[in-house]
Amino acid sequence: MSRTGSIVDRRVSIVIACYNQGHYLKAAIESALALAGSQHEVLVVDDGSTDNTAYITRQYPQVIYIYQNNQGVANARNAGFAASSGDYVMFLDSDDMFLPVAIDAGLGCFRKHPECGFVFGRYQNVDENGVLISGPNRTPNEPDFYAALLQRNLIGMQSAVMYPRRILEQCGGFNQDLRLCEDYDLYLRIARKFPVQKHDEVVAEYRKHGENSSRNYPLMLETVLRVLSAQTPYVRQNERYKSAMRAGISNWRQHYGNLMVREFRTHMGKYGVDRTALQLFKRLASCYPQGILDITRSTLRDLKSH
């Protein structure tokens, strides 16, 4: 691992993990540098990119640049955290952006709730050009965020979260065995042990584009169920948590299953029965058999209507 730039003791550290997304990285870095309020440091972890990530980062001498061979986003975030110095830490994907209030909102929430394992705010969706495509998400007030997270990922975006350094150290950071859902896994591990609090500020922008890893629906479903199953030892003695986890398993199966059904139908509508359609059908059969029944029923209804 090579590293350039000096580390100064600052209150908040911003870690940006990047793998071959230099075309978005400039906007991410500038959004981090523009954050208002407390002094902060910005670190970019280049996870073995083969594009212009290093060149883009070095246009900003105040940004700490770290290079490592490609090891995945969880490892990259952990590497950035290990090299950081802030009392609080936020993580930004290289294709997303912060809004200027992100630091002030997080620290303000911690001033009111210093006991928390993390705090989080809201985010909004933008397209690949940074144009707003949907307003901010809404998160309900929850009496028990661990129970709520067992049922769904109500946080939605990693960059909406601020962590105390001591909590990340106690929990061991991100699980490097996970290629996806590593953020959801960390939320669950922290919320199981510590209080969690939300605030209502919109702090980040999530960029929707064709390269988002969350579009691999079968892999997302497989991984999120693996993350939930890891909580089994901690919920088995609590009926409320057991019920919440059962609901979560059902919710995730339905969520990603419905997305796979929609993907299959869209492809069939454009291209008919081809090799890709058969692959999509096979994935549905293995991951979400209910989807096959849904498709069969809707096909029979269409035939009857004609």
Q: Are residues 142 and 10 in the same domain?
A: yes
Same domain? 140 vs 285: no
User: Residue range 63-75: average pLDDT?
Assistant: 97
Q: Which two tokens stand for residue 177?
A: 């065995």
Residue bearing tokens 């919710």: 251
* Pair 21, 40 in one domain: yes
Q: Which of 155, 178, 212 is the last residue of a domain?
A: 212
Closest C-alpha to 106, from 86, 89, 126, 82: 89
Query: What is the CB-side half-sphere exposure of residue 105 using CA atoms within 13 A?
Result: 24
Instruction: Report which of residues 180 and 303 the model is more confident about.
Output: 180
Task: Let me know whether 24 and 132 are in one domain.
Answer: yes
Confidence at residue 140, expressed as pLDDT on a 0 to 100 scale: 82
User: Does the structure show a pLDDT above 80 at 233?
Assistant: yes
Looking at the fold, whether 228 and 129 belong to one and the same domain comes out as no
Mean pLDDT of 197-221: 87
CATH of the domain at 168: 3.90.550.10
pTM given for the model: 0.90
Total structural domains in the chain?
2
Q: Given 212, 228, 255, which residue is the final one in a domain?
A: 212
Q: What is the pLDDT of residues 85-98, one digit of tens each?
A: 999 999 999 999 99
Q: Which of 3-17, 79-93, 232-246, 289-303 has the lowest mean pLDDT?
A: 3-17
Domain-ending residue, one of 191, 212, 233:
212
Check residue 1 and give its pLDDT: 55
Domain that holds residue 224: 219-305
Do 116 and 150 share a domain, yes or no? yes
Whether 267 and 283 map to the same domain: the answer is yes
Confidence of residue 6 (pLDDT cuts 50, 70, 90): very low
Instruction: Say yes or no to pLDDT of 295 above 90.
Output: no
On the question of pLDDT at 138 being above 60, the answer is: yes
Same domain (yes/no): 23, 141: yes
